Amino acid sequence: MPPFRAGFLVAAAITVYGAVTGREKLQWVAKPLMMPLLAANVVDEGAGLDGVDRALLLGSLGAATVGDILLIDPDNDRRLIAGASSFAVMQTGYSALWWRRGGRPRAAVAVPRLVAWLGAGALLRAKAPGIAVPLTAYGATLGTAAVLASDPGVAPAAKNIGGVNIPDADPRSRLGVGALLFTVSDGLIVLRRLFVRGTRARRVTEGVILSTYAAAQYLLADPRAHTKIVVAVAE
């Protein structure tokens, strides 16, 4: 495993542990390191990336870093909205990457995500109208990225089941699962904000949110998935 990706896993584990145990200082130390470590891996391992793809990927990870810092305090709605704005920039960058890799919107992939987006937006309007508009707008960027990442055109040799490419040795085939994990993570943020009560339950839920988020970014930011010539090497 490349050293920077191994470092990312260590930082992610410390971040999750800090969230579950309520040790915010650990999160302040480890969480801001997660995306820079993935960015360092892009620089180190991304020789096959062209200039535009490299800039999009590094820019997306930079925006995610800002969002990560803002969301160290996930119970502050102002920080939640600002963090969502940063992640919207990231999702837009990812969408551009996957469009350049051949991803296109297809009804079979897009319709379930559209239904989920409409449902989440309605729930936010009913339960938390103060954050409904910005989070629903962010959801549109998340859904767009997920649709493109799951398009069979991104990984032509992969099997596609239920609108998701099934991971194999080709790193491109893992983008759809990464986008799905990102959607699960962000969905849990909404559910935590609206329904989860009690310190322990909120900490555990935050740990699951961060775990799925870290797994998503590990798959999505793999530079091998964005090179023009992909070498299918299993981790």
Q: Residue 229 has what pLDDT?
A: 53
Based on the number of CB atoms within 10 Å of its own CB, is 126 exposed (0-12), middle (13-18) or buried (19 or more)? exposed
Q: Residue 160 forms beta bridges with which residues?
A: 165
Is the per-residue pLDDT at 234 higher than 80?
A: no
Q: Residue 74 has what pLDDT?
A: 85
Q: Residue 4 has what pLDDT?
A: 98
Report how far residue 152's alpha carbon sits from residue 42's, in angstroms, rounded to the nearest whole number: 24
pLDDT digits (tens, 9 = 90+) for 162-177: 888 999 999 999 999 9
The gap between the terminal CA atoms of the chain, to the nearest Å, is 7
Report how far residue 26's alpha carbon sits from residue 57's, in angstroms, rounded to the nearest whole number: 27
Is the per-residue pLDDT at 133 higher than 80?
A: yes
**DSSP code, position 103:** -
Q: Residue 162 has what pLDDT?
A: 83
Residue 209 token pair = 């949110």
Domain ranges of the chain: 3-226
User: Which pTM does this prediction carry?
Assistant: 0.93
Is the per-residue pLDDT at 233 higher than 60?
A: no
Tell me the pLDDT of the chain averaged across its residues. Answer: 93
Based on the number of CB atoms within 10 Å of its own CB, is 204 exposed (0-12), middle (13-18) or buried (19 or more)? middle
Q: Residue 47 has what pLDDT?
A: 87
Mean pLDDT of all residues in 51-61:
96
How many percent of the chain have pLDDT more than 90? 87
